[in-house]
Structure 1
């Protein structure tokens, strides 16, 4: 009897221990969240054991995990950049949307100017300055905007520092994307700028990983210089040489607005070929780009004398262009913002009207366009894709007979002081009261009838930047490849992509 009594506690003790451990690991008593965490820990332990068996130490494993986290963060900043910009747009729900429904899909200046504070610290100072110049129209034109952008990109690349645990080839593209997205807040990118950005990103992808950062930066800057020389400078020289054959002595030439290549063409005909001809410059509001062409031609001298002695210039607004002016025109030269794949000309608004008026009078219309401006897009109207400028640009200085009224800060301070005194005291000095009344009367007489147009619910003002010209109105497109019809645009695109 003594033997079983002694044996029972020895047998029951291990059973109790087994039950305790079983209860501790019993999956039925764990929640779903605890089960998932337990499985994750088991998988992580197995992976760590496998890596240690291969020869990877725990310190190396932690470093690799940290690199993966940094790559995910960088990818998130690049891919979600547009989403961040859209989320941080400044929206005023109190103001009515005055854009007609037909053009409601186009961005307004207020939407473009709402920059993202989340990326402002990542933007290069040169990009900030260039964005301000674009938004204030200090730099206008497809080629001038392209040249200034590429010059700024050179500074951005030179100041770029590759972060740790990454390479220039992979990180610089994302860094440039941030600069480009901020640049879009001023104005939409032109076709030539988009083509140049795609070329630059392709050049970055071709850089070898073994190349040092300084060598890669120097190579990219040299490639940008070659791009500007080949696609802009040399192309313009060839275009001018081909287009100069269509201007003869005594001919009457018509142009619209301002184009850099056309300005160089007129100067070349006078300075290099000693031609004398008549030039009709047609201009339109609100940018008045034709004034820039007129001023640049007047300032150009030949043997110390202005070239206006050889060129007889007539300046006229588009709304004053009559059939009597077009009667003696021999040819018309138009600038180009982009040439689309279906042969249509995408240029400053008013270009289609000029081309149509010349077509009805059998006046040949020629356009001077670099191949960098060619696009494989197809567009049938100017509503699908366009740019909206500020509506107030059409309202300012609407009364052309009066000089533009400039507000005086001292006058505003005087008016505010008079209003404050009228609220505080009942008795005022008669001199100041009389002066304040005179100021208000002058302001009422100088007030434009459309100054408060936003308060008129039935009035919408739209400032569209570009229009489309059908290919049947264009006789030739002068490029660096020669003078070709608009139907040859797809052929030039194919050759441009091959090069």
Structure 2
């Protein structure tokens, strides 16, 4: 018994020593809390101090739990420091990767962009997102994107019409997956197609309005509707949209704008607009008017050349009936009198914008301009060079009219052409500088493949090519000098502090525009918000 009491008396003081290491951290904040509660009568703790106390309590509990497992406080401190270092390194690595990616894309191929336009998206940046979703893109969208990027389809209205026609094909070939509904899954499926479509060229304002309308129509379809019936109704609504918002509204605009063209007048236009082309044909064929037309054009797309060729190749019956290219062969076989509209009624002058002098503007009676979009503050967003012509005509008191459908109206407000614009390839302004052909561009993937092949050939035949080049330079130095003189911007990428900018659109203030001709009538630019409100209500 005496031995047992001695053992118990020896064991009693050891127990608190074992517990004290693990429970000291728990008792310390508790004692502090008790002391704080006792002294609360004298001074109340603020919210910040209470949060700090709670944080300390939680940290002490975690430390006690880790100590119970067998992790010492020194190891805990080392683990915490390593975690903080990992977070910092990962954050810096991601930021460095983003910066490197941006610089690689910005300077890819030696292309330099001025700092003021550095926020605009380049073609390489648009193509960066295409490989991730290319496997779910419809073939019709692939071909349309290629046509957009190679400028086979140019203009806001043709791009909108072709997009809606392709959407009809996508909807017809669409099949709803299991355990989903058409109203929910089709919207996401179309979003993937639209994302790939953006890689060719950014969407126009009219295309954005049509996409919002189509998604709204998809959301209105009932869940109980059969899939085939829902697809047929959507295709019918797309046809109705094309007929009402593009074709019929264009006919009304042509009838309203034709009142401003009189016999013997001189009309000036810039670039190519589908509505204006139909307007000039309507005035000659239907109304038998005789007038002069000045087509102003600019590099690198030369859209005015397309308007010129379409007007020159249009034939009509002098009695008042127009003839298409297919009907012309039938008319010749039946000996029907047909002649081009440029024979007597229409005289066309083709001028480049850099040679447009004041002598040409002296005889102009009216100016008709196409539109990419009309903004809610009354400004015209159109092909670059439109603002220059509108300003020159306003200085000479020449009325400027804009033909624009209501589907091209936007509720955006923009004060300059820098914040949002489309950045085209710089090489389009340098290559074939003396030609009058639009740029023939290749696809982005094909360009990368060609570059790879060229680099491989250069690495293999580098020494042989150097010897040949030296012999050619010795034998014929004069042609090289002539080539350098004829193409001063041939090696512009090697010239420091030289940037070439190729933007697609500019902004025209409402003071330079007299009327905006829409399907609702000829209205001033200040009436754009009213038309937008009516368009949203319908």
Task: Judge same fold: TM > 0.5, yes or no.
Answer: yes
Task: State the TM-score, normalizing by the size of structure 2.
Answer: 0.70
Match for residue 157 of structure 1 among 154, 158, 171:
171
1:482 aligns with 2:482: no
Residue equivalent to 1:211: 225
In structure 2, do the counterparts of structure 1 residues 494 and 87 end up closer, same or farther at CA, with 3 Å as the change threshold?
farther
- 1:384 aligned partner: 419
Preserved CA contact (<8 Å) 1:279 1:314 = yes
User: 2:403 matched to 1:349?
Assistant: no
TM-score calculated relative to the size of structure 1: 0.75
* Alignment partner, residue 370 of structure 1: 405
Aligned-residue offset at 1:423:
3.7
Q: 1:455 deviation in Å?
A: 1.3
In the superposition, relative to structure 1, how do residues 162 and 443 fare at CA in structure 2: closer, same or farther (>3 Å)?
Answer: farther
Kept after mapping to 1: 8 A contact 2:516/2:522: yes
- SS of 1:117 mapped into structure 2: helix
Q: How does 1:56-135 map to 2 (within 5 A)?
A: 91-92=104-105, 95=108, 98-135=112-149
Shift of 1:328: 0.9
Q: 1:196 to 1:420 in 2, by over 3 A?
A: closer
**Matching residue within 145, 160, 168 for 2:182:** 168
Aligned to 2:234: 220
- 1:115 to partner: Cα distance: 3.9
SS in 2 for 1:281: strand
After TM superposition, the structure 1 = structure 2 runs for residues 183-262 of structure 1, keeping only pairs within 5 Å, are: 183-262=197-276
State whether structure 2 residue 483 is matched by structure 1 residue 446. Answer: yes
Q: 1:439 to 1:206 in 2, by over 3 A?
A: farther
Query: Equivalent residue for 2:334?
Result: none
* 1:23-34 correspondence runs (5 A): none
Pairing 1:306-345 to 2, within 5 Å after superposition: 306-309=340-343, 310-345=345-380
Distance 1:330 1:157, change over 3 A: same
The change in CA–CA distance for 1:88 and 1:293 in structure 2 (over 3 A counts) is: same
Q: What displacement does 1:93 show?
A: 8.0
Q: Report how far residue 305 of structure 1 moved.
A: 0.9
Query: Which runs of 4 or more aligned residues in structure 1 lie more than 3 Å from their structure 2 counterparts after TM superposition?
Result: 86-97, 419-424, 432-445
Distance (whole Å) between structure 2 residues aligned to residue 274 and residue 319 of structure 1: 33
Indicate yes or no: 2:523 matched with 1:491: no
CA 1:324–1:434 in 2, change beyond 3 Å: closer, same or farther? same
**C-alpha separation in 2, matches of 1:422 and 1:98:** 30
Contact 1:365–1:476 (8 Å) recurs in 2: yes
CA distance in 2, matches of 1:423, 1:178: 49
Q: 2 CA distance for matches of 1:400 and 1:171? A: 48
Contact 2:311–2:341, Cα closer than 8 Å, also in 1: yes
Segments of 5+ residues of structure 1 without an aligned counterpart are 1-30, 33-85, 405-412
The answer to whether the 8 Å contact 1:90/1:114 transfers is no
CA 1:213–1:393 in 2, change beyond 3 Å: closer, same or farther? same
Q: How many Å apart are 1:235 and its aligned residue?
A: 0.3
CA–CA distance in structure 2, aligned partners of residues 88 and 179 of structure 1 = 25
* Corresponding residue for residue 311 of structure 2: 297
With over 3 angstroms needed to count, the CA separation of the structure-2 counterparts of 1:171 and 1:308, relative to structure 1, is: same
**Matching residue of 1:464:** 503
> Judging changes above 3 Å, is the alpha-carbon distance between structure 1 residues 125 and 442 closer, same or farther for their aligned structure 2 residues?
farther
Residue by residue over 1:171-219, the C-alpha shift from the partner in whole angstroms, topping out at 9 and shown as x without a partner, is 0000000000011111110000000000000000000001111001100
Q: Give deviations 1:263-308, integer Å, cap 9, x for gaps.
A: 0000000000000000000001111100000000000001321101
> What displacement does 1:94 show?
6.8
* CA deviations over 1:154-179 (Å, ceiling 9, x no partner): 00000111110000000000000000
Matched length: 405
Report the alpha carbon displacement of residue 400 of structure 1 after superposing the two structures with TM.
5.6
1:179 equivalent in alignment to 2:193: yes
User: Over residues 221-272 of structure 1, what are the superposed CA-to-partner deviations in whole Å (9 max), with x where a residue is unaligned?
Assistant: 0000000000000000000000000000000000000000000000000000
Are the aligned partners of 1:135 and 1:187 in contact in 2 as well (CA < 8 Å)? yes
CA contact (8 A) 2:291 2:347 kept: yes
The answer for the alignment partner of 1:360 in structure 2 is: 395
- What stretches of structure 2 of length at least 5 have no aligned partner? 1-64, 67-98, 318-337, 440-453
C-alpha contact 1:89 1:114 (8 A) present in aligned 2: no
Equivalent-residue separation in structure 2 for 1:292 and 1:112 (angstroms): 28
Of 162, 165, 170 in structure 2, the residue corresponding to residue 148 of structure 1 is 162
Whole-angstrom CA distance in 2 between matches of 1:205 and 1:420: 61
Counterparts in 2 of 1:213 and 1:441: CA distance versus 1, 3 Å: farther
Q: Is the 8 A contact 1:338 1:373 kept in 2?
A: yes
In structure 2, how many angstroms separate the alpha carbons of the residues matched to 1:479 and 1:111? 36
Residues 1:285 and 2:322 are matched in the alignment: no
State the match for 1:16 in structure 2. Answer: none
Residue 422 of structure 1 and its aligned partner are, at CA, apart by: 7.9
Contact 1:477 1:483 in 2 (8 A): yes
Superposition pairs for residues 392-403 of structure 1, below 5 Å? 392-399=427-434
Between stretches 89-98 and 106-115, larger displacement belongs to: 89-98
Tell me what 2:35 maps to: none
Is the 8 Å Cα contact of residues 389 and 463 (structure 1) preserved in structure 2? yes
